[in-house]
Chains A and B, each alone.
Chain A
Amino acid sequence: MTTPMRILVVDDSPVDRVVAKHVLKRTFPGAELAEAQDGVEALELLDAEPFDLILLDLNMPRMGGIEFLEIWSKRANETSPSIVVLTSSGQGADRDAANSFAAVSGFLVKPFTTASAASLAEYAKPQALRKVRT
């Protein structure tokens, strides 16, 4: 029996978390979804559970996405989940800052829809996608 794909949504906006979960359920049926409202909660969850994909907002109180990436990059290895930044800011500076981290494999600008979620398949690691297919 194969474990389902596990996706962590990190966003301080409850509304955006609802939207993300809705879209992910339709895009990756059967995937297990977890949510964190800032970088601190995300690190706690990542310490406790394995994930295959992280959707990461940038602008969050307490610990934002860039600060999270700075910390997470020191821990990440080849088996670590892919990270896709999902933010309402399309500014070049944010994009450059996020893409400077090797752990980041994609950058999406909100709104998050089933159409834009299709590109997530390009960013997720093959083994994660195999979980979805099974």
Chain B
Amino acid sequence: MPLTSMCDCPHTNGAKSEHRLARQRKKSRISSLAEPGEEGGGDRSESQDALSAAVELGVDTSRFLTRRYVVALSLIGLVLLGSHLYLTHQLSSSRGDAERINRSGMQRMLSQQIALRAERILHAEDPQAARTERAHLREHITLMADNAAFLNAPLLDGAYSEAVAFAYEDAGGLAQANDFLARANRIANGTASHAEIRAFADSAAQTLESSNAAVLAHQGAAETRLSTFVRIEQGLLALGLLVLLLEALFIFRPMVSLVGKTVRSLAETNTELEALAYQMPHDLRAPIASAQGLLSAVEDELEDAEVAGASSLLRMAQESMLRLDHIVSRIVEVVRVLGTGNRPPPAWVELDEVFEQAAAKVAHLRDDVDVRIKSTQLRAWVSPSYLEQAVDNLVSNAIKYADVSGGCAFVELDTVEQPTEFLLRVRDNGIGIPKTQRAKLFGMFKRFHPNVASGNGLGLYLARQSARALGGDIFYSACEPGSLFELHVPKAAPDTRPTEHAAAQLGSLS
């Protein structure tokens, strides 16, 4: 098989790939959607499994996005609700401010009106004028008493601010008001002496001062409440903006990123499927057309009685049919790897044995290649068939393209254990991949050295798809001489891999 494949950008930096691997794994799951089915009765099942996987992926993404939206909107809702509750509370507590300021101002005005009425009673020219003034005085007193009852109620409930309470209580405002009303009542009732009326009228300036203090106290309390309200509203606004910023950073940005990646992944998958749809008819038809041409040539030879020539051409036709059979088999493998339903279960796999078996499978191809397996005795908890599919293709390619011209063709196989993954390395001393061709290295039906070895150009594609089915990937790097392929196989999480003993028990049960 031709050294094929290609990766988008060959590199050996495994650390960078974990994020990409997850995406590629999902991509592979989607890719299976439009792949042709397996032979016979497997078609419908494979197709349904692929469809189910795609639907599952869509549902997962939808759930993820929905959860993020719910969290984001809930946070915004909480901020709005908090702001509303606080605003309602403030409006409720401020509802009487205007009336209190108005009534306290009215008290100030009434205190002066009452003093003025007292002055007029004192200087009334006749009893009728005095009675009239007393009637007005009583009206003022009634209104002032009503206002006092309104303004004093919160004082009794302790609902006033400290400044207002001080004006009424500590500064003597309340006592003064009560005394003022009592004296005014005596004047209105005609029981006050002339001297008392005189003293009452003269005390108007003092009453004005305490009334002023009460008005200013109410006004100050309202302004203080308003400024506090403004500050807290600013705080809520800042909190809301902060929440939006945090959501943008930690919710919306990851969501946009996820959507973008999903779209790119779908676009890549679509491109891959289009390429497959374009290329597959050609590669399937090529061996058929060759066989048809050969059989036509056989007919010509037989007409000329050239039996030997006809026989030779028939053998070639047979080889073309074998080639077609091989291509179809590999396409079936592609479908199996890309299919997501009924994934083979994981098991403990001896990595040395995987290399040994892969080399043994292609040992008949060449006997001039020194296959060197460095034993590491490492075990991985993976799906064996996917791992074998990937390793078989890499080892097969390496052996086919190992270069004996330097005197010793070799292939080196070893495994490196890293904290989160195993690195299975396949190196050969072959002719490598030209720089300009590396971008296509892992593509379908890609062949780079058809004159060196035969193949259908699916080997490296299959290897990479298998690696991705394991949650890993394959990367190529050129080395002198030859090529190095690194198969990244992530380790299973400790809580998902049983001990070997437990795995054996599970195996016996199944």
Contact = CB atoms under 8 A, between A and B. Distances in A.
Interface of A: 12-13, 15-16, 18-19, 22-23, 26, 37, 59, 61-62, 87-89, 91, 93, 109-115
A77 to B, nearest CB: 29
Nearest to B298: A22
Contacts of A91: 278, 281-282
Interface footprint category on B:
20 to 34
A113 B296 contact: yes
Q: Indicate the member of B2, B294, B319 with the most A CB atoms within 10 Å.
A: B294
Contact of A61 (B282, B289, B292, B448): B448
* 10 residue pairs, one from A and one from B, having the closest CB atoms: A111-B292, A110-B289, A111-B293, A19-B293, A113-B296, A88-B289, A88-B286, A89-B282, A22-B297, A15-B290
Given A59-B282, A89-B285, A110-B289, A15 B297 contact: no
B396 interface: no
A18 B316 contact: yes
Contacts of B450: 12, 37, 61
Nearest to B296: A113
A89 B289 CA distance: 10
A110 B320 CA distance: 14
Contacts of B300: 22, 26, 114
Interface in B409-459: 446-451
A60 to B, nearest CB: 8
Interface in B188-208: none
Contact of B293 (A61, A62, A113): A113
Contacts, number: 72
B264 to A, nearest CB: 25
Nearest to A112: B293
B293 A16 contact: yes
A20 to B, nearest CB: 8
A28 to B, nearest CB: 14
Chain B contact surface mostly: helix
Contacts of A61: 2, 446-450
B1 to A, nearest CB: 13
Contacts of A93: 278
Contacts of B319: 15
B282 A37 contact: no
Contact of A19 (B294, B446, B448): B294
A110 B448 contact: no
A89 B290 CA distance: 12
22 contacts: A12-B450, A15-B294, A16-B289, A19-B290, A19-B296, A22-B297, A22-B313, A23-B293, A37-B450, A61-B2, A62-B448, A87-B282, A88-B285, A88-B288, A89-B281, A110-B292, A111-B290, A113-B292, A113-B293, A113-B296, A113-B297, A115-B296
A93 B277 CA distance: 13
Contacts of A26: 300
A124 B297 CA distance: 22
B294 to A, nearest CB: 6
A13 B448 contact: no
Nearest to B4: A61
A32 B408 CA distance: 40
Nearest to B323: A15
A133 B294 CA distance: 27
Given A23-B297, A26-B300, 15 more contacts: A15-B290, A15-B319, A16-B289, A16-B293, A18-B316, A19-B294, A19-B296, A59-B286, A61-B2, A61-B450, A88-B282, A88-B289, A88-B290, A110-B293, A111-B290
B297 A19 contact: yes
A10 B292 CA distance: 19
Contact of B290 (A22, A59, A110): A110
Nearest to B449: A61
Nearest to A110: B289
Nearest to B446: A61
Contacts of A109: 289
Contacts of A89: 281-282, 285
Contacts of B292: 110-111, 113
A23 B294 CA distance: 10
Contacts of A23: 293, 296-297
B283 to A, nearest CB: 8
Interface in B363-407: none
A60 B338 CA distance: 27
A10 to B, nearest CB: 13
Contact of A114 (B282, B285, B286, B296): B296
Nearest to A38: B450
Nearest to A19: B293
A109 B450 CA distance: 22
A127 to B, nearest CB: 28
Interface in B284-316: 285-286, 288-294, 296-297, 300, 313, 316
B505 to A, nearest CB: 51
A117 to B, nearest CB: 10
A18 B278 CA distance: 26
Nearest to B291: A111
A109 B289 CA distance: 9
A16 B317 CA distance: 10
B187 to A, nearest CB: 114
A37 B450 CA distance: 9
A132 B278 CA distance: 39
Given A15-B320, A61-B447, A111 B282 contact: no
A130 to B, nearest CB: 26
Contacts of A59: 282, 286
A113 B296 CA distance: 6
Contacts of A115: 296
Interface in B253-281: 278, 281
Nearest to B289: A110
A14 to B, nearest CB: 9
Q: Indicate the member of A26, A62, A91 with the most B CB atoms within 10 Å.
A: A62
